[in-house]
A and B are shown apart, each in its own frame.
Chain A
C-alpha cells in the first residue's frame, strides 16, 4: 500500500489526459482510409490531403491572421492599460481594473451572445473586424494580468533615473520600461495568440458568413464524418499551440543566459 498505488494512480490520470491527444497524433500518420485503429501503416497522406484542401488552408490562414492581430492589438492595449493602472493615479482604478478582468469571469457563451445582441441593437453587421474585436475582449484580461504583475516589479526609481538623465517620458518608456517589460509582453502576446487560435464558442457566434477559423472548420467537418484529415489538422494545431510557448520560453532562457555570461566575464 501507499506510494506504489499513488504512483500508479498518477500515471493513470496522466494517461487519461494525454492518451486522446496521443491517439490523434498517432492516427494522423495512419495510412488507413478510416480514422480508427488498427493502424495499417505509416503515411503522411493525410497531411498531404490537408495541404490540398482549400477550405482548410483558408481556415488556417484566417486563424493565423486573426490570432496574430489579436495578439498585437491585445498586447498594445494591455500594456497601455497596465501603465495607466499601475503608474498613474487614475480615478476609479479598482473599478476599471475589475471591469477589464471581468471577461475571464463571465462565461464565454454569455459574453458571445451579449456582444452579438449589442451589435444587432446598434445595427452593425458581423465582420472580420468585429470578430477580431471580440477576441481582443477576452484575451485582454490575460495580457493585463501578466503585464501588470511585471510592471509592479519594475521600480519607479529606474524610470525616474532615466528622466533625470535627460530622457523624456516617451524616451524613458521605449528605452527603459518597454525593454524591461518584454518578457511579460511576449508572454501576454503568446497567451492572446493561442487563446484566439483555439477559440470556438465566441467565434461561432461572431464570425461573418463564409469565414471559417480552424476550430470552426473542424467543427463543420465533424458534422459530416470523422475524416482522418481532422487528425492531421488536430496534430498541426497541437504543434502550433504547444510549440509556440515552448519556443518563446527557449528564446527567453537563451537571452537570460547570455546576459548572465556577459555579467560574469571580466
Chain B
C-alpha cells in the first residue's frame, strides 16, 4: 500500500490553473521531491497534501484513507517550513513537545521523546532556550525535531534549506537525509534546487507550469530527460534539432547538425518510436574539449573555437562556437584550461546522449 496517493488532483484559483490534474503514488518510506522553478505548482501540491489548500478536483489518500475532508490538524503530518515557523514565545522544549500535547502521551513519555528528538537533531543542550537565541540552521533542526517527534504518517518539507546560507545548506542536506533514512518516514520535499533534488531523492517529480514533466529516480531524470524542460532544468544541456533515421538493435540513429549521425541508446530515447523529427540532448558535462590535433579515439567530434571561459575552480564552463551554433561544455580542469580564441576539438560519446521527439 502506498503511503500517499494523489489521484487526478487539480487546483484552480479563479481562472488560473495552478496544478493541472496529476496523479502520484508514493510508497511507504520513500523520499520524493517535487522539483521545479517558482510558480510551477510544487508548493500548491504540497499544501493540498497538508490540508492547507483544498483541491478543486481529485482525491488525496494518506495510508489508504481519503483525507480530502479531513482538516489539517487531524491528518497527522509533520511539516517543516522554509522560515522555520518556530513558536517565538515558547522554549525549544515546549516547541518540540507541542504536538505531543494533542496526543495521548504521558508527561514522562513526552519529556523522553522530546529529549530523544533533540538528540537526533544533535541539539540536546538547547531545550531551555528560546528560538531567537538560535542560529538559522539550529532553528531548522528544531523545526525538524518538532515535526518528527509526533511520528507523522508523512513528513512534508517546504523548501526547508532555502533560507540557509550555502555551506550550511549542504551540511543540512546530508543531515536531513540521514535523519529521514534513520526514522524511515515517508517524505515529500519541495525544492527549486536541482542539486538538492538529485542528492536526496528516491524519486523526483519534475514540474513546470502546473504540469508533471517527468517522474523517476534521480539518475533516470538526469540521464534520460523526458522533455526539453527537464534536460535544461537539471544541469545544462545542448539541444540540437535533427532527424531520427532509424530505430534498430537497441540504438536510435539521430541525424544531427554539426556531428552527422549519432547512435543514441534506445533506453535514452524512450519517446521516439521511429523515424521522424527528433532532438539530440547533449549534456554540457559530457562534451569534452581537447587539443585540436588530439586523436579522436572513435568519439564523435568536430572543430570549435572557444568564445567564453567561465572559470569555477575545479571545473570550467566553456562556450564554444561551431559554425553558427554555440555549445556549452563543463569540463574538469586537468592541467590548465583553454583560453578564449583557442581552436579546439569538442567530442562526446554517443552513449552519453539522449534524444527527444520533436523539431
Chain A residues with CB under 8 Å of chain B are 155, 157-158, 160-169, 171-172, 176, 179-180, 259-260, 262-266
Q: Offer 28 A-B interface pairs, CB within 8 angstroms, sorted by A.
A: A155-B83, A157-B81, A158-B88, A160-B52, A160-B79, A161-B81, A161-B85, A161-B143, A162-B98, A163-B71, A163-B72, A163-B73, A165-B73, A165-B98, A165-B147, A165-B150, A166-B99, A167-B98, A168-B73, A171-B102, A172-B73, A179-B89, A180-B89, A259-B89, A262-B91, A262-B128, A263-B132, A265-B129
Q: Which residues of B contact A265 (CB under 8 A)?
A: 128-129
Instruction: Give the number of residues in B that approach A within 8 Å (Cβ atoms).
Output: 36
Q: Which residues of A contact B143 (CB under 8 A)?
A: 161
Quick check: B130 and A259 within 8 Å, CB to CB? yes
The residue in A155, A263, A264 that gathers the most chain B C-beta atoms within 10 A of its C-beta is A263
Cβ contact of A160, chosen from B78, B85, B99, B125, cutoff 8 A = B85
Q: Which of B17-64 contact A (CB under 8 A)?
A: 50, 52
What 9 new A-B contacts, CB under 8 Å, besides A157-B81, A163-B73, A262-B129?
A161-B143, A161-B146, A163-B72, A164-B73, A164-B75, A164-B156, A165-B147, A167-B98, A265-B129
Q: How many A-B residue pairs have CB under 8 A?
A: 82
B294: interface (CB < 8 Å): no
B133: interface (CB < 8 Å): yes
Give B80-122 as 1s and 0s: 1 = Cβ < 8 Å from A's Cβ atoms: 0111011111010000001101110000000000000000000
Chain A: minimal CB distance from B162 (Å) = 13
B354: interface (CB < 8 Å): no
Indicate whether A166 sits within 8 Å of B79 (C-beta atoms), given known contacts A157-B85, A259-B130: no
Q: Which residue of B lies closest to A255 (CB)?
A: B89
A161, B156: Cα distance in complex, Å: 11
SS of A interface (majority): helix
Quick check: B73 and A166 within 8 Å, CB to CB? yes
In the A-B complex, the 8 residue pairs with the smallest Cβ-Cβ separation, listed nearest first, are A166-B102, A165-B99, A263-B133, A263-B130, A157-B85, A161-B85, A164-B79, A157-B81
Q: Which residues of B contact A179 (CB under 8 A)?
A: 89
B77: interface (CB < 8 Å): yes
The residue in A180, A259, A260 that gathers the most chain B C-beta atoms within 10 A of its C-beta is A259
Chain A: minimal CB distance from B16 (Å) = 15
A158, B146: Cα distance in complex, Å: 12
Chain A: minimal CB distance from B98 (Å) = 5
Indicate whether A165 sits within 8 Å of B85 (C-beta atoms), given known contacts A160-B72, A265-B129: no
Chain B: minimal CB distance from A8 (Å) = 45
Indicate whether A166 sits within 8 Å of B103 (C-beta atoms), given known contacts A263-B129, A263-B132, A265-B129: yes
A16, B82: Cα distance in complex, Å: 54
Q: Which residues of B contact A266 (CB under 8 A)?
A: 125
Q: Which residue of B lies closest to A154 (CB)?
A: B88
Q: Which residue of B lies closest to A265 (CB)?
A: B128
Chain A: minimal CB distance from B103 (Å) = 6
Q: Which residue of A lies closest to B78 (CB)?
A: A164
Chain A: minimal CB distance from B46 (Å) = 12
Chain A: minimal CB distance from B155 (Å) = 11
Q: Which of B133-164 contact A (CB under 8 A)?
A: 133, 143, 146-147, 150, 156
Q: Which residues of B contact A163 (CB under 8 A)?
A: 71-73
Q: Which residues of B contact A167 (CB under 8 A)?
A: 73, 98, 101-102
A157, B75: Cα distance in complex, Å: 17
A169, B146: Cα distance in complex, Å: 19
Q: Which residues of B contact A260 (CB under 8 A)?
A: 132
Q: Which residues of B contact A172 (CB under 8 A)?
A: 73
A165, B103: Cα distance in complex, Å: 9
Q: Which residues of B contact A165 (CB under 8 A)?
A: 73, 78, 98-99, 102, 146-147, 150
Q: Which residues of A contact B81 (CB under 8 A)?
A: 157, 160-161
Q: Which residues of A contact B102 (CB under 8 A)?
A: 165-167, 171
Q: Which residues of B contact A162 (CB under 8 A)?
A: 87, 98
A172, B72: Cα distance in complex, Å: 12
